């Protein structure tokens, strides 16, 4: 499944996808009021347009037949957690794949693209937070080479949850992890009319 860098015109589709996949993942596990507060803060045309315009952010998307079916939001910024051991860390801020694709390797393709992208830009490590009640995602990240660096917190609406902090060193070899030319360094997606 092709992975590409999202464009400004993807903002609305990403806002809808982001909200839908968050609901799919956490409904029934997080109180509805906090879920709604978090969704209102995080997803919407303005929020995703701002993320796409932010030079520190890269949004990678999985696309099939013109439909967005997964995304990874990467952010190049200093970590707020001392346990992140890298000099030039890249945060995987959000990582979501449509349920119809789970267990078919799409997440692996998207993560390979994310790690390639980060390594090719000279990042020496990637890090992310995952809810400690999300064992499938924790297993998936372990399969992708992440290791546990301790417990951190994550606010959702008015609740504060316990997350695992996961880290993965990167080196130049990781830049070739993804076979997808659209996330290789120097690539510019051609404008679509």
Q: Which residues bind ligand COA (CB under 6 A)?
A: 25, 95-97, 101-108, 130, 134, 136-137, 139-140, 143
- Classify the phi-psi angles of 150: left when phi > 0, otherwise alpha if psi is within -120 to 50, otherwise beta: left
Q: Select the residue whose beta carbon is closest to ligand COA and give its number.
A: 107
User: How far apart are CB 112 and ligand COA at their closest, in Å?
Assistant: 11
Complex with ligand COA: residue 21 or 170, whichever CB lies closer: 21
Query: Strands of 67-76's sheet, edge to edge?
Result: 3-5, 57-64, 67-76, 89-97, 125-131, 159-169, 147-156
User: How far apart are CB 130 and ligand COA at their closest, in Å?
Assistant: 4
Angle at 86 between CA 80 and CA 87, to 5 degrees: 95
| Cβ atoms within 10 Å of 11's Cβ, excluding its own | 21
Complex with ligand COA: residue 5 or 93, whichever CB lies closer: 93
Complex with ligand COA: residue 122 or 161, whichever CB lies closer: 161
User: How far apart are CB 102 and ligand COA at their closest, in Å?
Assistant: 3
> What secondary structure letter does DSSP report for 59?
E
Complex with ligand COA: residue 68 or 137, whichever CB lies closer: 137
User: How far apart are CB 143 and ligand COA at their closest, in Å?
Assistant: 5
| Cβ atoms within 10 Å of 153's Cβ, excluding its own | 11
């Amino acid at each position: 499944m092709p992975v590409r860098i999202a464009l400004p015109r993807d903002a609305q589709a990403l806002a809808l996808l982001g909200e839908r996949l968050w609901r799919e993942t956490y409904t029934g596990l997080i109180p509805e009021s906090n879920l709604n507060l978090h969704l209102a803060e995080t997803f919407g045309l303005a929020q995703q347009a701002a993320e796409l315009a932010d030079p520190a952010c890269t949004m990678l998307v999985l696309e099939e037949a013109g439909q967005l079916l997964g995304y990874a939001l990467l952010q190049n910024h200093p970590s707020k957690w001392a346990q992140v051991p890298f000099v030039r860390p890249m945060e995987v801020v959000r990582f979501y794949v449509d349920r119809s694709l789970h267990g078919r390797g799409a997440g692996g393709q998207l993560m390979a693209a994310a790690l390639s992208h980060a390594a090719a830009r000279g990042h020496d490590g990637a890090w992310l937070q995952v809810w400690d009640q999300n064992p499938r995602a924790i297993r998936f990240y372990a399969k992708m080479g992440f290791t546990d660096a301790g417990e951190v917190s994550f606010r959702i609406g008015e609740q504060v949850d316990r997350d695992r902090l996961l880290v993965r060193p990167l080196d130049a070899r990781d830049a070739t992890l993804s076979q997808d030319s659209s996330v290789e360094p120097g690539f510019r997606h051609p404008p679509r009319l």
